Structure 1
Amino acid sequence: MFKKYITEAIVKEVNMKVYNERESCSGCTACISVCPKNAIEMIADNEGFLYPQINNDLCISCNLCRKVCPFKHENMKSKSEENINLNMDKEKVNDRGKEIQFAGQLYFAAKHKDNEVIFSSSSGGIFTALSDYILQKEGSIYGAAFDANFIVKHMKATNKLDRDEFKGSKYVQSDLKDIFKQIKNELKSEKYVMFTGTPCQNAGLQNYLSKTNTDYTRLYMCDFICHGTPSPLIWKDYISHLESKFNDKLISFSFRNKENGWKDMKVSAKFIKENRSKECNNKYSFLNLFSSLMIVRPSCFNCQFTSYNRRADITIADFWNIGNIKPDFDDDKGVSSVIVNTDKGLSWFGEIKSNLRYESCNKEDCWQPHLEYPAVMPSNRKVFWNEYNDKGIAYIVDKYGKGTLSSNMKKKLTPIIRKLGLYVLAGKVYKIIFSRK
């Protein structure tokens, strides 16, 4: 009997943490969602990233939190492996007269037929087309949006007006709260649901639904090629810093303003008294902070999902290489890269293709670095956070808002490399030299 108590105590001690180090937790909330005793809560660390913390008084050592963690169980079969049906009806997608046999993944360059949709989207407007299909089925859309204070959160939409808040990139890690539980309840009510988020969020959701024996036949999953998730704390302090500096209130912010073209990568920052976009694209640039990778979550440098083996039904991204692959398709308004990963994804794309202009491509055409390897942690990341903790956001924005030497070089060289058709080659060389994956 005494031995039994000792064993139970050891097990409980092991389960006091869902993760062993910060690099192995993406904050996907699968663990907090699956806990039968609500013994876990998400607590922000000193970098502003949420991590699960177990209340040992409530914990029953069921170990579900560890079993559902995508970082610990990425060896589970992906949706691609589970759901691909090589004998699918090849008529479901017809590429302008060319029959396509689904045999793993399909690749497309696509843009919405409505130019207003394209202009209000980060790339080609594919998200609008995908989500319109779910809304037509009276389903729910879950995606990331700004709240009234510009905090990035995952929210629910059941109409186009609310759904449109999810359009456009949000270069901040979103707060998922209890979204996974909401989705499970909707699926149990036989509702159609679309979830869009990072690859790790999609993996966490799928693991959670699988572990809770939830039928997710009506769930349509969409991820994107992710470059890393920046700190919500830095973003919040950045907004406060701007409002204090300009003595004005932010009323509108877009990470991807297309007024000067899709490839220009400029933000739009409008305050009550004045438009401050110029300042926020130069000396006070959040995009420069992001590009430096200093503010990216530690697990992003150890990402398990930078591969073609996707959990989501469809993967979307900017088709940066379109000018070299299909120059006639590139009007600098935005083109989406679409990777169809599953049979459900193929059927989904087939349902929306009438709203798109699209061209079939191959795997190499759609290549991006983070389809193969994660971002590399900057050597001076620790220095950055020490400076932030010691000197505050004003110092950080002044020092890094203009961009680091490496990020500024990358910003200048990347368009040239793309134009010369060397984008893929440069990425492969970078992987050999720098990537630790």
Structure 2
Amino acid sequence: MKIRHLFAASAGKFSRWILQTFFKGGSSYPGKLALKLDPKILDYLAKDYQVIVVTGTNGKTLTTALIVKILEQEFGPVLTNPTGSNMIQGIVSTFLDAPKNKGQKKFAVLEIDEASLTKVTDFIQPELFVFTNIFRDQMDRYGEIYSTYQMILDGVKKAPQATILANGDSPIFNSVATINPRVYYGFNHQADVEQMAHYNTDGILCPNCQHILHYKMITYANLGKYYCPNCDFKRPELTYQLTALGEMTNTSSAFTIDGNDYQIEVGGMYNIYNALAATAVGEYYHVAPEKMKAALAYDEKVFGRQEVIQIGDKKCTLVLVKNPVGLNQVIEMIDLAPYDFSLVCLLNANYADGVDVSWIWDGEYENLTKHTIPQVITGGERRKDMTFRLKVAGIAEDKIQELATFDQVIAQIPQLETEHVYILATYTAVLQLRKKLTEQGILKGGQK
């Protein structure tokens, strides 16, 4: 055991204690400090863990949380990074938070940012990678979807013994051969019907011959039972399959996976994919279906993922949005709401959000106009862009109120006409809003 490892770990843990005790925050700084003192600290901290890594564009946080719930049913406490701090300094902070293992092997389920994966696998050897999806996101940082996938592959190849559990409905995950063994999960819930993806869909070119892919079933965006009519490229065989969809509401979904019925207490097709990925991990580790059913039914909302927050007499559903595909899935989920609602849209453009906000023009805000939304609030650093986008979408200017600060947003929400409010916010806007809500005593322990 090296003195440098011990010193760096002790300094990181002490800084964490200071931040949590006196400043009520600090999810990544302890890791940043420990890394500065010992760049190989992660190798030391993670050596006694069976590590599962979850990566991809959308769904990492909820998929990670569901995997943790499932594995805890069978194996006891699981280490994870629940605040979404998924870059390398956040991962180090997660291990600094861990209780002592006493030599016993335990699970760590880590959400890892696509661009950070190659840095993490320099020191951690995961035994399972879970790929959720890849969509256009933060192009100023990631580039096109093929660049993003290459970042992931660069990280994965450093752990060649690890199995890849990938979304088989996503063509990009079947586009490049890997040293790592691969298994797939996906949807098989409908009879085949010949169809094409929407014209404004990324990632639908065959990687072999560049022909436009055809589909026999589409769930959303470019996900589904794809094949190339010009060569032999097609969706791979699925090891884990969703075979039926039950009732879907804006707050829950029922479905059947490998002959077993499950339900989750969040709405949206995109969240069913997250549950499918988590269930596939459970089956991979031989967790009994009844235990997985209990884990998925556990009604605890994850940070910024359909959290319901009471502000005054309003029930506010807070949802993270960060790219066009994710936004459109959120709007489809909202479409299922059986009640009237008001809308709050908070748009920031910091590094963690992506500084380019042009993605809001590819989101289908126009679909919101089918609802009678009496009032809309816009906020965040790029609130004027958000206001303009909503006006172009067809929301009347006299319904939109633009507010300069999050304190003003919070103060105005109780004045809205409807009992229900949807708050759609980018990542740093979620953090800032939750911090303000915590400071005002509305949210308990809300800012990690």
Q: TM-score range by the shorter chain?
A: under 0.3
Q: Considering fraction of residues, name the structure with more strand.
A: 2
| Bigger relative contact order (CA 8 A; separation at least 6) | 1
